[in-house]
Structure 1
């Protein structure tokens, strides 16, 4: 079911409708989330999901409208298990690449 919103005409501009404020949209979304989540929690979740899919912090920064990358980083939840797995996997390939490089170099 698609939600419908009733708009009222702007008294200053007949025939035009008022915009929904960010606060009102947040209130509507929070009411629609039956588990008690808030718009802010949804923002964190979306930022983390976009980062997990793209691995692009700058993209997330642009989408969220942050001027500072440090602010964006606070929005991202990083799973420590994934960090350990990534480091372990990379360390194994570093070891393999280093070993291969030593073998492939001609002896003077």
Structure 2
């Protein structure tokens, strides 16, 4: 697997110019630099988890927080009424490009029913 997760670590530590939308002790959220929708936000755990396959019972609080933050941001961005998509890619066939678990919050336009 590619070791391209350093950028997420730098964002968490405020070592880039990326504007953080939300951050607490468990998760960080920021705009995707290659947006696929008018609203395209990434939500990541502050502690490294490589893929969705690597989660276990100790990650329940983090995963729950990631989803709560996605819902909160959707309301702040006013995409909650029309709808939005939450996506987690896992490994090569799941289109994961950065091997650091992250949620894509996508909205602001009509989405496609196509998954790939």
TM-score interval, normalised by the smaller of the two chains? under 0.3
- Greater strand content: 2
Query: With structure 2 as the length reference, what TM-score do the two structures score?
Result: 0.25
Structure of greater Rg: 1
- Greater helix content: 1
Higher relative contact order, chain-length normalized (CA < 8 Å, sep 6+): 2
